[in-house]
Structure 1
Amino acid sequence: MTYAARVYGSDETDTGPEPGHTYRELVGGPLDGQLLDVTGWSEAMLVGGAFLMAPLSAYGPGGRASYTPDRADGPFVWDGDIP
C-alpha cells in the first residue's frame, strides 16, 4: 500500500496533496517528511522560507521550526527551532 505524504497543518483524515497545488517537502527537524502548501506564495516568500508551529520542537507546544529553501524549486530544510 502506498501512502501520500502528510500536508503540514492537515489532520490524519485528510487524503494528502491536492491536485493543482504546489508543495515543498520539509526536510529534517520535527516536521521532516511533511509537505508545505506554497500555492500562491510569491518568489520573495519562497526565498524567505517559513517559521512553522511544531508541537514537537525543542520548545514544546507553541514552539516553531525554521525552514529555508535548499534551492529555488527544492525542499525546505530545517534550520533549527525557535520559541
Structure 2
Amino acid sequence: MQYVEYLLIVISLLAIINLWTKVGKLEGRIKGMQDTIDRLTRQTGLPENPINDELRKLIQKGEDVKAVKKARETLGLSLLEGKQYIDKLKSENR
C-alpha cells in the first residue's frame, strides 16, 4: 500500500513540474506577442488605449495605487500585471 502512495506522490509532483514548465513557456510567448502588438501599434500609428491618459494623470498626481486599481478594473489585469502596466507607463513618461 505504501508503494501506491509513493507512486501517486511522484506522479503528482511530475504533473506539477510539467504544468509549471508549460505555464512559464506560455507566459514567455504572451510577452513576445505583446511586444509584437506594441511594435505594430507604433508602426501603424494606431491610437493607444484611451485609458492610458487617465492612468497618466493618476501617476502624475502620485496616485500609483489608484492607477493600478483602475488599470486592473478596466483592462482585466492581475495585480502583478497591473503594477507592471503602470510601471511601463511611468517609464515612458521619463
Instruction: Using CA pairs under 8 Å that are at least 6 residues apart, name the structure with larger relative contact order, 1 or 2.
Output: 1
Structure with a larger share of its residues in helix:
2
Highest Rg: 1 or 2?
2
Structure with a larger share of its residues in strand:
1
State whether TM-score is above 0.5. no
TM-score between the two structures when normalised by the length of structure 1: 0.27
